[in-house]
């Protein structure tokens, strides 16, 4: 990232009084972490900050200071600056994103997805960053802003969750250096790892009991299916795979893992993961979604059978095009 973009973004927030922060729907650790890391630091700069998401903050992220700041709706307000974080395109920011864009003077697009569509006025888009929180960190370092414990906890959470505990191959020595600085600022790696990665309600295991019989391995692609009935029988109210796709990606013989999640109204949400050396982001982007080489997703119109018939050949091509890259 070149300094002029950081400087332009800094100038925009310095002259602003009111700032709204949005991130992607169904927020994960990096979405919540980057939004809260921005919110705390901007509040410490004396700004009036609004944070919003269409969806609730998941239970496993409620330990982060400031989750109460999130609003589910926006109305009757204007802002000087909107910051969108960890969202590769405008629809990903949901209804609050659309409202914030229409009522803000300047839009800063802060993201690390290789599939970012470069919407907005100022682009802090760094595909090499392991998480959006890494970009927030670099921006605050550039600004010379001190790191409070609250900001550090939020930023380390994005780093830990998007790298699955520093395990994806985009992690570098610099990633660990950033983690070290965040720990020195008071963030606990043990607490964040325990609360975000090593935790799962029994309902999710119950969902897996229903979903695991659907698992199949063919031509290096491992697939699983979560039907709407699986979700309701497990007592869950939101369509999720509860991390099943990451579990399937651990299978030695699989280079690509996919979970098909049935949605109401003939739609299917797909979650994709791959081993190092295999790229699933191009497939996700071609399907109208986005993501990273090793973790991507999309929502596709059609029944489960129709979507599988469309997606599985693309994933088999992705297996054929890659080569396992574990050194």
Give the footprint of ligand AMP on this chain (CB under 6 A).
Answer: 24, 88, 92, 245, 271, 289-292, 295-299
From residue 323, alpha-carbon distances to 45, 170, 299, 318 in Å are: 47, 16, 27, 10
**Terminal alpha carbon distance of the chain:** 27
Report in angstroms how near the CB of residue 191 gets to Mn ion at its nearest: 20
Q: Tokens 């090593």 — which residue?
A: 198
Using CA atoms, how far apart are residues 59 and 257, in angstroms rounded to an integer? 26
Beta bridge partners of 263: 267
Residue 235: CB minimum distance to Mn ion, A: 25
CB of 145 to ligand AMP, least distance (A): 26
Q: Which does 88 bind (CB under 5 to 8 A by kind): Mn ion, ligand AMP, none?
A: ligand AMP
30 sits near Mn ion (criterion: CB under 5 A): yes
Comparison of 10 and 29: residue with beta carbon closer to ligand AMP: 29
* Residue 134 lies near Mn ion (rule: CB under 5 A): no
Interface positions, 31-70, toward Mn ion (CB under 5 A)? 31
Interface map 185-224 toward Mn ion (x if CB under 5 A): ----------------------------------------
53 or 151: whose CB is closer to Mn ion?
A: 53
**Residue 89 CB, nearest distance to ligand AMP (Å)?**
6
> What is the C-alpha radius of gyration for the chain, rounded to an integer number of angstroms?
19
134 versus 150: smaller Cβ distance to ligand AMP:
134
Binding to Mn ion (CB under 5 A) within 253-312 occurs at none
Q: Nearest 5°: phi and psi at 105?
A: -75, -45
Q: Please tell me whether residue 89 binds Mn ion under the rule CB under 5 A.
A: no
Residue 292 vs 308, nearer CB to Mn ion: 292
Size of the site for Mn ion (CB under 5 A): 6
CB nearer to Mn ion: give 58 or 302.
Answer: 58
Nearer to ligand AMP, 101 or 112 (CB): 112
Rounded-to-integer distance, Cα 274 and Cα 324, Å: 10
Q: Based on the shown chain and the rule CB under 5 A, indicate whether residue 28 belongs to the binding site for Mn ion.
A: yes
Question: Residue 290 binds what, of ligand AMP, Mn ion, none (CB under 5 to 8 Å, by partner type)?
Answer: ligand AMP
| Residue ranges in 146-165 that form contacts with Mn ion under rule CB under 5 A | 162
Q: How far apart are CA 168 and CA 278, in angstroms?
A: 12
Residues 6+ apart with CB under 8 A from 269: 239, 260, 261, 263, 297, 298, 299, 300
Distance CA(238)–CA(236), nearest Å, equals 6
For helices 149-162 and 189-196, angle between their N-to-C axes, nearest 10 degrees: 50
Residue nearest ligand AMP by beta-carbon distance? 297
CA–CA separation, 53 vs 298, rounded Å?
Answer: 19
How far is 261 from 65, CA to CA, in rounded Å? 31
Q: Rounded to an integer, what distance in angstroms lies between the CA atom of residue 249 and that of residue 271? A: 11
Which residues have CB under 8 Å from 190's CB, separation 6+? none
Only one residue has tokens 């590769």, namely 88
Nearer residue to Mn ion within complex by CB, 129 or 311: 129
Q: Which range, of 26-34, 190-198, 228-236, 239-247, touches Mn ion by CB under 5 A?
A: 26-34
Rounded CA gap, 6 and 17, in Å? Answer: 18
Residues that bind Mn ion (CB under 5 A): 28, 30-31, 86, 132, 162
């Amino acid at each position: 990232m070149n300094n002029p973009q950081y400087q332009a973004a800094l100038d925009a927030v310095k002259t602003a009084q009111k700032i709204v922060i949005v991130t992607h729907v169904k927020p994960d650790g990096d979405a919540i972490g980057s939004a809260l890391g921005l919110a705390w630091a901007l509040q410490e700069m004396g700004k009036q900050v609004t944070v919003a998401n269409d969806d609730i903050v998941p239970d496993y992220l409620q330990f982060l200071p400031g989750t109460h700041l999130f609003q589910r709706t926006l109305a009757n307000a204007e802002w000087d600056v909107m910051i969108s974080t960890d969202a590769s395109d405008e629809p990903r920011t949901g209804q609050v994103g659309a409202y914030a864009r229409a009522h803000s003077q300047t839009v800063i697009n802060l993201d690390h997805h290789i599939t970012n569509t470069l919407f907005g006025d100022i682009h802090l888009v760094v595909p090499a960053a392991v998480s959006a929180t890494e970009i927030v960190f670099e921006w605050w370092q550039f600004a010379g802003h001190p790191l409070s414990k609250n900001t550090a906890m939020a930023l380390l959470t994005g780093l830990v969750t998007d790298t699955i505990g520093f395990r994806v191959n985009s992690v570098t020595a610099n990633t660990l250096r950033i983690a070290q600085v965040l720990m020195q600022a008071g963030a606990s790696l043990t607490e964040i790892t325990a609360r975000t990665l090593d935790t799962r309600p029994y309902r999710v295991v119950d969902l897996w009991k229903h979903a695991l019989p659907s698992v199949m391995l063919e031509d290096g692609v491992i697939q699983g299916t979560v039907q709407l009935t699986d979700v309701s029988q497990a007592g869950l109210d939101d369509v999720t795979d509860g991390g099943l796709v990451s579990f399937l990606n651990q299978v030695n013989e699989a280079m690509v893992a996919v979970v098909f999640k049935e949605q109401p109204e003939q739609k299917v949400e797909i979650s994709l993961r791959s081993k190092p050396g295999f790229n699933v982001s191009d497939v996700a982007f071609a399907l109208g979604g986005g993501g990273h080489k090793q973790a991507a997703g999309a929502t596709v119109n059609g029944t489960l059978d129709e979507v599988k018939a469309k997606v599985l050949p693309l994933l088999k091509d992705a297996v054929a095009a890659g080569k396992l890259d574990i050194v």
